[in-house]
Structure 1
Amino acid sequence: MSQTAHIPSHRKPRRSASKLALRAGVAGGVLSTIAVAGAAGPANADPVTETIEMPTLGSLDTDLASAVSASAEASQQEALDLSLQAQEKTALEKAAKDAKKAKADADRKAAAEKAEKAEKARQAERERASRTQTRTTLSSSGSSSSDGGSSYDSDTQAPTGSAAAIVAFARAQVGDAYVRGGTGPNSWDCSGLVQAAYRQAGIDLPRVSGSQSSMGTSVSLSNLQPGDILYWGSRSGSYHVAIYVGGGKYVGAQNPSTGVVERSLDWDTPSGAVRIL
């Protein structure tokens, strides 16, 4: 073993090349600045003593971190702005689409209501024309009754007494509205009209059609008399009733579309009839 093996070395540790270059660059910059300042001054000028503070590596790292943070914040804000713009655009497009659909629905509804109103007007006109024709026919038949004629079919007789009161009342309501549960004076349902008509003759009938058609005695449709109650469905479970007024016709509160009408038996043939008078 060498005698110097345990003697500690007095050599200074080597510095890395990058650190030496950095120190050399900083020192060279300081010396260059001082040299330029000395050369530019007058020959007899007093020596200038100036302390130049150089940025430290710590401050450079802080500035770099601040710049990176600011850039990240700017990028995040820009992304947020773009997202908001996209959301606003989507919302505007949806609102425009909804408005267009709502307008189309409103137009269709208005067109349907207009068509329904026009159809009701045409139907009302047909009803008025029918009533006018009926009145004309009755008037003509009445004028010939003095010659022994009749305003009714050969199988019926002109109503008299209670039947006449019932028929007259029923015909007076033709043109009134149909309202479910209606009992007058200007709107009726089928059984409400029959009940009110029979009340003119001093006869109290049940309120509903099934009970009304169960009253009295059953008669065939070929042997009807004015004032008979016509029914649709079974006798004890009828769903509609009307009053036979003679001449092969009846008066009844049909439905909300037609209201109270006078129609031929052939228009809607009833299931049967009962006689109470």
Structure 2
Amino acid sequence: MSHTAHIRSHRKPRRSASTIAMRAGVAGGVLSTLAVAGASGSANAAEPVTQTLELPTLTADLAAQVAQSADVTQQAAASYQLQAERDAAAESAAKQAKTDLAEAKKKAAEAKKKAEEAERKEAAERASRSAERVTLSASSDTGSSTGTGTSTGTGTGTSVGSSTATGSAAAVVAFAQAQVGKAYVSGATGPSAYDCSGLVQAAFKQVGISLPRVSQAQSTAGTQVGLSNLQPGDILYWGGAGSAYHVGVYVGDGMFVGAQNSSTGVVERPLSYDPPSGAVRVL
């Protein structure tokens, strides 16, 4: 036995002819495929290819969804606009309310101020009347003791309590008493309403005597007489002679008729109701 018999041969086994032929066929096929692909690539390179993209067509359901979305958007916009208009209206109303409140407060303050001024004026007038009464009382007492020689001769000795009225004086008294109950209106001269000087002027107009229109002038229209020597038909005044703020007609028996104020109208009252400051006689 040979000494190399147990050693394997290092030679590769021979490939069969069929295997070689198959491999050759495969290679040939690949080469032919590459050749065809190359030729096709050359042809495509020489001639550009145009591709057309087709967009999807809106279906009826999709169109309805789009329309619904548009309606929702429009409704939302309308809602926002309405809310904005409401907010603007509310803001405008708030501003107007604020302005009205300020105006109301201003008017209330003005009314309060006027009321306070009227009250102060009335208090001052009351104080002035009191002072005038004190002064007049002193002067009347002095005049009574010395005699009232400035009278017109119609009887200065008649007492305050006298109710005798004749002739023109009786006509003046009758007219004044006939107006009792009528309204007091500032500036009125009759026949349905009077102020104080308007009533006195109208009463003396009945007997053909034309008196000044205002109480200040009427308080100096005749001869000054003492309050203790009054006769029916005398003009009573409150305040100073020439600066009187109220007048009336003495009707006898310690009574007078006057258009007092808007609360009482034309009334007949005793002298003690509101004692006058002085009197003048024109009849």
Relative contact order (alpha carbons < 8 A, sep ≥ 6): 1 or 2 greater? 2
Q: TM-score, normalised by structure 2?
A: 0.48
Structure exhibiting the larger radius of gyration computed from Cα positions: 2
